[in-house]
A = this chain, B = another copy of it.
Amino acid sequence: MWQQVEVQLPAMHRGFHLITGQVEAALSKMSPVSIGLLHVQLLHTSASLTINENADPSVRRDMEKHFSHMVPEDLPYYEHIYEGSDDMPAHIKASMLGSSLTIPIRDRQLCLGIWQGIYLGEHRDHGGARRIVLTLQGE
């Protein structure tokens, strides 16, 4: 049994944001599976999906600071500069972090560690709404 749904996330400011609740809300509207896999695809190239610590907002702030340190704006060798200083770094961060996740389902729920949550990494200053496609399969 395959199910697929597209979800639009509201615009978020630059940085990392917990979206576990939005993913769980979409999952709860699909026919439940006891064992399976949920795949989440972000349809953009200047934002990312990753799993990290779901409790302390300082983790998300430190991630934003350090990814922006590793991938600075306005490096002299960037050629792709006509969409703004934040654009090329956003593409690089998107590939460092990835644009999709595959998450096990156990007992109808996301099977993640107690400290794990789903992050949207918004790497543009004004990225706007972002769309994700959820594909669920299981039994």
Contacts and interface: CB of A to CB of B under 8 A. Distances in A.
A104 B133 contact: yes
- Per DSSP, chain A at the interface is mixed
Nearest to A68: B77
A103 B4 contact: no
Contact of A111 (B50, B119, B133): B133
Contacts of A32: none
A139 B103 CA distance: 20
Contacts of A41: 103-104, 111-112
A111 to B, nearest CB: 6
Nearest to A34: B2
In the complex, the 5 A-B pairs of residues with the closest C-beta atoms, listed nearest first: A43-B113, A58-B79, A58-B80, A2-B35, A50-B95
